[in-house]
Each structure stands twice: as structure tokens, then as C-alpha cells.
Amino acid sequence: MWGRSRWAETRGSCCLCRVDQFLMLKHSRVGIGLLGASKMSVGKSHTDRQWWKEAVVYQIYPASFNDTNNDGRGDVNGVTEKLDYLKDLGVDVVWLSPIYDSPQVDNGYDIADYKKIYPPYGTLEDVDRLIQELGRRGMKLVMDLVVNHTSDQHPWFLESRSSKSNPKRDWYIWRKPKYDVEGKPRPPNNWNQILGEAHSAWIFDETTQEYYFAAFTPQQSDLNWENPDVRAAVYDILRFWLDRGVAGFRMDVINLISKDQSFPDAEVVIPGQPYQPATQHFANGPRLHEFLGEMRREVLDKYDQMTVGEMPFIYDDKEFLKIVHQKDGFLNMVFHFELVDIDSERGDVPGDARMSVGNWDVSDLRRIISRWQRIMIDGGGWNSLYCENHDQPRSVSHYCDDSDEYREYGSKLLAMMETTLSGTLFVYQGEELGMRNVPLAWGPEEYKDIEVNEMYPNDQEKLQKARRALRAKARDNGRTPMQWDSSPNGGFCPEEVTPWMRVNDDYPVVNAAAQTKPEATSSVYHFWQRLVTLRKENAGALVHGGFELIDETNPDVFSYVRVADSGEKWVVVLNFTGHSATWESPKWGLQWVAGNYADGLDKVQSGGTDLVHLRPWEGLIARQPCN
């Protein structure tokens, strides 16, 4: 058993276990999992348990994880090399962003061959070995499935564009041009690109004199899911990987596969711009459920696997529940964007709404998270829990204060929130270290993402003006190489090798080697490690339990209670501000067991009052045993 010496830490660290009674929780899941649903004062809980619900999923961005062949890019063998690191953290499932053969226009999300590996990443044999090594550790592999579109270099598209009579012509979306008064061809409608709002989503093909649809970039041509041959080819891809031992898929923008086949003009919402956002016409289309249902019947139901769909541009709660309902849905869970878009508003960077940086407060955070907890718990669905990924800024920079003074506190605060909510937990590489956004001093030339280049092609002046927005929101913030140690290049690749993207300047301090040392008990990594253990050992409450807000009007503190069917309560108190705050504790006889300040538990337990005083970015977790 763990004694007090392991958990009582020095200033600037955390205490995750103080009382002897807490140690008894290691086996508290026994006897809870088989209890039926029961009504309680804080809302019902989930009772349908599947392996993927309690799993901790770790997302790896392959180019930036670990380079073992000294070419400046990460690779599959680099993932295999670090499996013990992930196992020690508590990871159950590794999710790889695309490793398929690709021209890398959009860092692998433009796929040229779904059954081959991008050579710098390795070979199919390397993937087989990774799956085998994961299995030896009781872990699984999830692949990124990108089937809304392919690369324009995919053999399917090369055939499709070769002539109007080619058998694969209808595998993509082709339309005849309109013509202006001068007889010049113009796009079929006014839809713009997602990664470049100023550009048309229709690309003119000189050979066949028609336009093809590409929602993201000209090099990512959308597949025509109306064609049953396309769907059959996609299902063949799924079987190929599932038969190889993959345990499921993260499905990239899967709700874009069904489009409005009338392809009408979009409403003008950006005055003076010729091309307009049209997601209402090509997201969540009329045949989406039909396509997903067919995929499930033809492939997914025949394997023990997990699915999570990335689904932007859905704003209807009922639509989400139709997708993920545990009885009648099509996927296990979805990624929604409401939390990561908490500060987005059009205006900061003209021409790209996603790069805007607006204001938010605790009430916004409370409203979004509590709404999604209630939607899924009450509606029979299941949440995905994430605060950052390869398309988002680093969470400590996004939601907290990433300064040297508060970076660790903020990183631990977010960990406390993520590990105590209902849903499947997704951790992004480096999040467990408290990695932060790139420095503001970095110039636009350091950004590699096509989104930045498409925003202002060849316009360095405008890019310089957008520097602050890029530092806050650019996707490259989450794509800097993993910081393994304090050696040159952060241990990602050898000193003499130039990494594909610059390593964040703070790697001498923020790195895995420093944080995984046994004596580094106060590190962000060790805090995550202990919270993951806490979550797994108390899954009845923290994964499957009921959820209810506490003190819904507090302007600074986000607090809630999780309840197991046994009646055991867990209370989470999070000060999401950079100043001191107060919170009134319910009179429940709470045992305070976790905090992200070294002396946080001592302070709250010796306060002698129900009024809890919280320092900037301070969080606390308490337990009330069942009677």
C-alpha cells in the first residue's frame, strides 16, 4: 500500500492521497459494475459497460512523436519504442493519426493508398509488430480513418479525372461549370473551402473541363458516397485493418460523407467575398444515417471494436444522440467542437473564423460541459472527453495560464477535470507533460500547416499581423515534436538531424525524462498517472456515475458531483481563473483527497469552515463514502 510519504509533496506539487481510507478505494469497483440503474438526487448513471468506455486513449501524431530512423520525422517504430512509457501512464488504446501513404499536403489526411504505409513512417510489417507489442501489454491500436476524401494522387482519383467515361469518374463529385459573360468557366456554386475561406471548394480540371469538389484543399478530393462502389471499397479498407488486428477507428469528418445533391448556393454571411461557408449543405446530409447504418451492418457489427466520429458543424443535440445511442446509434461516440470552440468568434482574422480569439468565462465552461454530460447520460449516448488534439492549441495555453508560474497548476487542473467526467478519456501526446503553445516570438515561417498557408498565401505582411491569433489557435501548436528529454531537439531526433518542425523552446525544462523520474513526484506526468489510476479504480462513479453541478452561479469556480450506483459521491472543485476565489462546500462530510497545490489539502482540511479558499488555477477533489 502507498504511505503518506509518497503523496505528501514539496511546494509546487500535488497531493493525491492523504487519508488512509482513500487507499481502500483501490478495490472499490468490485460489486458496483453489476448493479442496475437507479434514480438518485444527482441524476442517473450509465450501466452499459463496454471496454472502450473505461479505456484511456492516447493520440499520437506520428510525424512528431519519436524519430528512430534519423530523418527528422517520427515513425511507427518510434511508437513501439515508447510503449512502456504509455503503459506506465495508464494508456489502454493508442490512436495513430494517419500513417498511410500520402503526399503529405495535409500531413497525412490526404491519403494516396489506404493499404500502404507512408515510407518515412515505416512498413506494414512495422505496424504488425506494433500491434503485437501492444497486445503483449494488454493494449490496443485505433487507426485514423479518412474516407470523406482522398488525395488527388490516389489511383482512384487519377482514373476519375482521366476522362468523363472512365469507370471511376463517378467515384468523385464532378459538376459542369457555369460560364460568365465572357465565356470563362466558373464554379457550380459559391461554396468555399474549409481550410481557406477565400477560395472556392470547386477545382477546375483542364483535361475534362469540369469541376471536382474538394471541401478542404484542392489536393483533397471528396469521394462520392452516393456511389455504392465507393462505399464497398471503403468497407474493404475497414476489413483490411480490422483483420490485421486494429481495434477500431477514429473517423475523420465522417458527417461530411452525405451532401445535398442539389448543390445550391450558400447564404451570404461574409459580405464582399465571392465564396461562402456551406457546411449546412455538405455536413450531416440526408443520407448520413443510411451510410453509417450500412457501414455498421456490413463491417463494424462483426468485430469487437470502438468507433469515434469527428463531427463538426452539428448543432442539434438530438442528431448527436441518433448517431451514438447505445441501442440504435451507428458509432460509439463522437468528437464535438463546442468546448474547443469556446473562444471562437468571427472577426479577429478576416477570412478565417476559426482563427478568431474571443473571450469566455467559467459560466461558458460550466454550461458546455454540464450540457454534454447531461445529454449523453440522460439520452443513452456516450461522451468523448478531450481538451486538445492535432487540430487544436495546447489545452493549458487555451484554457489556463501557460506562464512558467502557472503552467503546472493549469495542466493539473485540466487533468482533474478530464479524469472525473463521464465518457471515454482521450489524452493527446505531450498533454501529460503540460506542453504548451509555441512562443509568441516565433515568426509565421515556423508554421508548417497548410491551413496557415491557405489563409494568406504569399502574404507575409498579413501573416505577421495575425501572429497573435496564430500563437493562440493555429493547429501547429499541437504538432511540435514530443519533448522526451533536455538534449538538443528534445530527444525527438538526434542533434545533427533537423526535425520536420521546430521543437518548442521550453524543452530543456518541459520534457518526459525530467517528469518521469521517481523522485519527480510533483510533475504533471505523475499527477496524470495517479489521476488515471484513480479514475480506473473508481470507474463506478468517475466513468459511469451520475453528474450534477454544484453552485451553478459561482463566477470563478466550476464544481460538480459524480455519484456511483452505490451512493458514493465524488466532488470536484476547479478554480478556472487566474485570481483567488471562494467556494462553499456542501455539508456532506467530505474527505478531501486530491489537489494540485502541495498544501491544498492541509489548507482545506484545517480551514474549520465550509467556505473553501482557492488560489489561482487551484483544484480539489473530495470523496463522500456511501453510508
Local structure of residue 15 (DSSP, 8 states):
B
Q: What angle do CA 357, 359, 361 make, to 5 degrees?
A: 140
- What the block records as the C-alpha cell of 140 is 490496443
pLDDT band, very low/low/confident/very high, at 252 (cuts 50, 70, 90): very high
Percent helix, strand, coil in the chain, to 5, is 30, 20, 50
Burial of 463 (0-12, 13-18, 19+ CB in 10 A): buried
Lowest mean pLDDT among 80-89, 396-405, 441-450: 441-450
pLDDT band, very low/low/confident/very high, at 197 (cuts 50, 70, 90): confident
Of 316, 559, 281, which Cα lies nearest the Cα of 416? 559
Q: What is the pLDDT of residues 581-624, one digit of tens each?
A: 999 998 888 999 999 998 888 888 766 678 999 999 999 999 99
Note the pLDDT of residue 3: 29
Tell me the DSSP string of 277-329: --HHHHSS-TTHHHHHHHHHHHTGGGS--EEEEE-TT---HHHHHHHH-TTT-
Average pLDDT, the chain: 89
Q: Which residues are catalytic?
A: 252, 310
Q: What angle do CA 247, 289, 174 make, to 5 degrees?
A: 100
Please, what sign has the CA dihedral across residues 185, 189, 190, 191?
A: negative
For residue 509, give the 3-state DSSP assignment: coil
For residues 71 and 448, the model is more confident at 71
Note the pLDDT of residue 610: 84
For residue 542, is pLDDT > 90?
yes
Q: What is the pLDDT of residues 405-438, one digit of tens each?
A: 999 999 999 999 999 999 999 999 999 999 999 9
Percent of the chain whose predicted confidence (pLDDT) is above 70: 88
CB 394 within 8 A of CB 510: no
Facing residues of 101 across strands?
A: 113
Widest CA span of the chain, in angstroms? 83
Distances (CA, A) of 64 to 96, 223, 484, 576: 11, 28, 11, 30
39 membership: H or E segment, kind and range: none
For residue 46, is pLDDT > 90?
no
Q: What is the pLDDT of residues 382-398, one digit of tens each?
A: 999 999 999 999 999 99
For residue 305, is pLDDT > 90?
yes
Note the pLDDT of residue 25: 32
pLDDT band, very low/low/confident/very high, at 20 (cuts 50, 70, 90): very low
For residue 341, is pLDDT > 80?
yes
> Mean of the pLDDT values across residues 537-564?
97
Quote the crossing angle between the two packed helices 288-298 and 228-243, to the nearest 10°: 40
Note the pLDDT of residue 281: 97
Rounded to an integer, what distance in angstroms lies between the CA atom of residue 53 and that of residue 29? 15
